[in-house]
Structure 1
Amino acid sequence: MACMFSDEESRPLKQMRRSFECSSFGNTNCSSRERNLAERNRREKMGLRFTALSALLPPSKKRDKASILEEAINHIIHLQNKVDTLEKKMTKTATTKSCCGGGMRSCSNERLLCANTQPSLPLIKAKSYHSEVLISIDHHYDRKNGVLEKIVAIIEKLHLSVDRFSVVNFGDSYLNNITIIAEMGEEYGMSIKEVVNRLHAYCSQNIN
């Protein structure tokens, strides 16, 4: 037997259905607004982060997001290379100090070299540190012959500027040791070995 509703009885059902449909549509609109708001906040945060990243990079005409990311990657690679170079320099300097810290002696990196082929010839030692060169000459020279002036002159011909020196006398007439600290000039381009060899050759031939 079919169940029939009168108009008065079916009216509440229609109102309930309409109310449910409106409520569902309202929830959909609310969810959509929340998603749009969340997306807008995300984009604002992303924009602020790109602006902050752009401020850390070197000046550039291009400031779109792709260019900023590319520049940031290149800048990080550049900084990493600089860090690697500095670490290698620090390691090399520490090795040199550890090896040469006890005075004038041979080093594994050959920054300290000696030339002394015969006992009667001068013993010349030299080492470099950054832009300075330390030279030590051990031999008996008659100081009346202007030995110190001659040695300073030949050193300056090698594009080394004498900063300071010390002399150890033996007796009244002889120089036993000459120690010189010189600064590398702009045109200086030889190795420490070449400096030692040039000084050794000059002293052996011209200074008695």
Structure 2
Amino acid sequence: MSGALFPRGRAVVGDGAVHVPGWLDAGRQRELVEACRGWARGPVPMRHTTLPGGGVMSVRTVCLGWHWQPYRYTRTAGDVNGARVAPFPTWLAELGRAAVDEAYGEGAGARYAPDTALVNFYEGAARMGMHQDKDERSGAPVVSLSIGDTCVFRFGNTRTRTRPFTDVELASGDLFVFGGPSRLAFHAVPKVYPGTADPACGMRAGRLNITLRETGLAGE
């Protein structure tokens, strides 16, 4: 794979990794923005995550269903305020199943059962370094929804944080799904382009990224 930016057409970026531009219409984007504003207020508020080495992530995050902190899931946010996170809504799981159908074909999402969402807010110079989503016990796909400013999404390989990788522009309303052989691919957001969002999405500035996952965990 090369580092060139993909055009705005639907693209298979890797084996099991699919980019669908403009999947969310403006109305659905506004609905998600309003929902995110509510989730950001709590019961566990949106926060900058502190890493084990003492570093602080530049994005702000709020979780649904299960609380993620490096590098595990819990029902309560011991690193924030000790409260139980907001529940994962049924309608968001339905949206996730529709996303998997869109990426992989009708019926592919029938058994997809996401039970957590990480909502990341990028503002200013916020970015995300190369990492794997590997704290889940399930190998089900990750569904990523973008709203607001356009970003560069760097999608790599499963072996190393370095090349080969592909840079994809994710704009407001875009869907990106990665599963199968690409489920543990390293990925990053090295750049966000301020002021590129369509105001019709419901945001004046910044970028929201909602990722749906199956934790593979059970009970409390």
Query: TM-score over 0.5 for the alignment?
Result: no
User: More strand by proportion, 1 or 2?
Assistant: 2
TM-score, normalising length from structure 2? 0.26
Q: Which has the larger radius of gyration?
A: 1
TM-score, normalising length from structure 1? 0.27
Higher relative contact order (CA 8 A, sep 6+): 2
User: More helix by proportion, 1 or 2?
Assistant: 1
